Amino acid sequence: MKQMTYAEAIRDGMRVEMKRDPNVLLYGEDVGIFGGCFGVTAGLFEEFGPERVIDTPISETAIAGSAVGAAAAGLRPIAEIMFIDFMGVCMDEILNQAAKMRYMFGGKAKLPMVVRTPCGAGMSAAAQHSQSLEAWFTHIPGLKVVMPSTPADGKGLMAAAIRDDNPVIFIEHKQLLAVPGEVPEGEYVVPLGKADVKREGSDVTIIAWSWMVQKALAAAEALAAEGISAEILDPRTLVPLDKEAILKSVGKTNKLVIVHEAVKTGGFGAEIAALVCEEGFDLLDAPIKRVTAPDTPIPFAPVLEGAYLPNEEKIIKAVHDLF
Amino acid sequence: MKLTKEQLLGFYKTMTTIRAFEMKAAELFAAGQLPGFVHLYAGEEAVATGVCANLEQKDFITSTHRGHGHLIAKGGKIDLMMAELFGRSTGYCKGKGGSMHIADVDLGILGANGIVGAGQPIATGAALACKYKKNGAVVVCFFGDGASNRGTFHESLNMASIWRLPVVYVAENNMWGISNNQKNHMNVADIADRAGAYGIPGVAVDGNDVIAVYEAAAEAIKRARSGDGPSLIECKTWRHRGHFEGDPAIYKDPKEQEAWLKKDPIPRLAAKIIELKYASRAELDKIEADAEAEIEAAVKFAQASPIPSPEDVFTDVYAE
């Protein structure tokens, strides 16, 4: 094990896989000598050279679309879209090409590609550089959606995403990039579709992913002080979703709070709530609570952004409402 | 460039096969035998034929919603194509794609495409793979005049030009983006002129002259294969039918339609072959009859093929 930040761990996941498989290459805006807008790819250009770590023009459509073509022609590209907010610029390539080619072609194509993109608010980047759009991608069959919350998960899920023969949307949270943690060295794979209990508990299940896992863990600590034992379940990948782990945890605690940074309406929390209602209604002793951002664009001023974001206090309040 | 008898007769066979496929598809669609909708390539056969005659099996193409001609010219199997049009489980896509999504990755056919212009970045990425793997393969990207107005066109040609990718962009200018004439949808007469914006060669050719298309493509593909980067070829042509079957094409001037029908690429090639004494009219008729027979056999194969099972809807979403 080695201490690494989340950014370093994701980079290590890419580096190990690039060493392992010469068909893996990385490209996007400023991923080369600049090391990526958030430094995640720093050093890879120097290590692997300009043939495998390629700076692109500002052309999100061609970045995502060429990843589809490169994957269909036998490579395993990792394409970076600088902010998840820019995915709108290349949505046809994700929605109608990457996600659907295999199915439309009757199963006769493989598209092993990863689209890496950072999400999340908390740095006063306002409405076009702060969103959490994971629900968009979960609504498109053919894609996998990965949202790591820790350095170790970041590395292991990156390896799994690169090795997967399907298009994977790999969403990194900007607020987690500098967060340190213990990370296994060398080859390390966390399988897609396996949730992780980040804290065991018995009174209430809190399902959270990405940055919100940290908020939920902080809330659990405070709740423990008042005698409420919260279990924190991190699905880690939204597609595929570890339904069994969710139902198992709810079966244990009989209460469920879902926390996500994305806006409420149409958020992935609604999907989890529906899953539990359809397949685990009898497990519930109380209504399901959601702690999310409100249905507004993301504001700029720190006080407004603070009011917008879900946080520890909002999670604690939601839990209190169940007791 | 001197073309051999075998080459010209090969062109004739491909073009008449495409025409026979398309006219049969029109007939079957009108008879209500084909679900969905079809966009026919009749009139544009010289483009796919002249370009793909320069390609090897390892080379890739991306196609369009009007894709049957490209697929046949790249070696696509007629019976599997026809079965797909019928939505049968023996079809290229097991009935999951239809006319607009036929692909054969093993033959380098990266798919027809229902989104205008979407093939351009895909072709660019395939060319990146060819260059990276140093496998000597090239990519041809077919698209229409309408697609040359998409942002995908700009981003793809720019990216391919800076990376000197082995790709040839072939603009099939049939002068109509559905009902919108070229003069109303772009302010240049030649799409080929746009190549100048990317510092790459651009050439406009008579797209109804298969020999002219072949020669332009030969040069561009040689350039791509030797590592000198992408090119843009504009082939000026005309679709004989409406945008889709059922479109009465009221936007076309009947006189212009008539004039273009006289420039039909198939009789033009026939006249050339006869002039060169490479074949008699009777021999050409035999090639046409053989093409029609092949299409009839494909229809019989399709009609005799099983329809998919309802549970097939769930398979092929993800690779295991």
More confident residue, A173 or B37: A173
Strands A196-199 vs A230-234: parallel, antiparallel or unpaired: antiparallel
Whether B316 maps to a domain, the answer reads no
Instruction: Read off the pLDDT of each residue in B76-91 and give the average, rounded to a whole number.
Output: 98
Whether B317 maps to a domain, the answer reads no
CATH topology agreement for domains A2-183 and A196-321: yes
| Count of Cβ atoms closer than 10 Å to residue B232 Cβ | 29
CA B278/CA B264 separation, integer angstroms:
20
A247-250 long-range contacts (CB < 8 A, ≥24 apart) are A247/A275, A247/A276, A247/A279, A247/A280, A247/A283, A249/A197, A249/A205, A249/A207, A250/A205, A250/A276, A250/A280, A250/A283, A250/A284
Whether B312 maps to a domain, the answer reads no
State the total domains in chain B.
1
Q: What is the CATH number of the domain that holds B29?
A: 3.40.50.970
- Any idea which fold A2-183 has? Rossmann fold (3.40.50)
CA distances from B120 to A185, A232, B55 (A): 40, 45, 18
A56/B contact by beta carbon, under 8 A: yes
CATH number of A196-321: 3.40.50.920
pLDDT, position B2: 85
Partners of A115 in the β-ladder? A79, A169
- Which helix (H) or strand (E) segment holds residue A144: the answer is strand A144-146
The tens digit of pLDDT for each residue in B231-278 reads: 999 999 999 999 999 999 999 999 999 999 999 999 999 999 999 999
The tens digit of pLDDT for each residue in A246-297 reads: 999 999 999 999 999 999 999 999 999 999 999 999 999 999 999 999 999 9
CA B49/CA B74 separation, integer angstroms:
8
Instruction: Read off the pLDDT of each residue in B295-311 and give the average, rounded to a whole number.
Output: 98
Mean residue pLDDT of chain B comes to 97
CA distance to partner chain A, nearest, from residue B163 (Å): 9
The tens digit of pLDDT for each residue in B84-135 reads: 999 999 999 999 999 999 999 999 999 999 999 999 999 999 999 999 999 9
Residues 6 or more apart whose Cβ sits within 8 Å of residue A137: A94, A143, A145, A169, A239
Q: Do A66 and B152 touch (CB under 8 A)?
A: no
Amino acid at the residue B205: V
Three-class DSSP category at A59: coil
Longest distance between any two alpha carbons in chain A, whole Å: 58
Q: Do A75 and B133 touch (CB under 8 A)?
A: yes
Residue B85 in tokens: 């049009």
pLDDT, position A148: 98
Q: Does residue A129 have an active-site annotation?
A: yes
Q: Tokens 């496929």 — which residue?
A: B21
Three-class DSSP category at A157: helix
pLDDT, position A227: 98
Chain Cα centroid distance, residue A249: 21
CA B90/CA B312 separation, integer angstroms:
13
Residue B166 in tokens: 């082995």
| Count of Cβ atoms closer than 10 Å to residue A218 Cβ | 15
Partners of A26 in the β-ladder? A53, A78
| ipTM of this complex | 0.96
In degrees, rounded to 5, the angle at the alpha carbon of residue A88 between the alpha carbons of residues A215 and A307 is 30
Residues 6 or more apart whose Cβ sits within 8 Å of residue A92: A61, A65, B115, B118
Domain that holds residue B77: 5-306
CA distance to partner chain B, nearest, from residue A30 (Å): 15
Q: What are phi and psi of A104, to 5 degrees?
A: -60, -35
SS3 letters across chain B: CCCCHHHHHHHHHHHHHHHHHHHHHHHHHHCCCCCCCCCCCCCCHHHHHHHHCCCCCCCEEECCCCCHHHHHHCCCCHHHHHHHHCCCCCCCCCCCCCHHHCCEHHHCECCCCCCCCCHHHHHHHHHHHHHHHCCCCCEEEEEECHHHHCHHHHHHHHHHHHCCCCEEEEEEECCEECCEEHHHHCCCCCHHHHHHHHCCCEEEEECCCHHHHHHHHHHHHHHHHCCCCCEEEEEECCCCCCCCCCCCCCCCCHHHHHHHHCCCHHHHHHHHHHHCCCCCHHHHHHHHHHHHHHHHHHHHHHHHCCCCCHHHHHCCCCCC
User: Would you list the domain boundaries of chain A?
Assistant: 2-183, 196-321
Whether B320 maps to a domain, the answer reads no
Mean residue pLDDT of chain A comes to 98
CA distances from A138 to A96, A280, B145, B230 (A): 14, 21, 35, 36
Residues 6 or more apart whose Cβ sits within 8 Å of residue B21: B68, B72, B78, B81, B82, B295, B298
Instruction: Read off the pLDDT of each residue in A229-245 and give the average, rounded to a whole number.
Output: 98
- Test the B interface: residue of A25, A61, A111 with most B CBs within 10 Å: A61
Q: Is the peptide bond before A240 cis (omega within 30 degrees of 0)?
A: yes
Residues 6 or more apart whose Cβ sits within 8 Å of residue B31: none
Judging contacts by C-beta atoms under 8 Å, the chain B residues touching residue A73 are: 60, 110, 125-126, 129-130, 139
Residue A42 in tokens: 């720093």
Whether B12 maps to a domain, the answer reads yes
| DSSP symbols for A74-114 | T-EEEEE-SSGGGGGGGHHIIIIIITTHHHHTTT------E
Does position B1 have pLDDT exceeding 80, yes or no? no
A278/B contact by beta carbon, under 8 A: no
For B163, name the nearest residue in chain A, comparing CA atoms only: A56
Partner residue facing B121 (CB), from A57, A62, A71:
A62
Would you give the DSSP letter of residue A299?
P
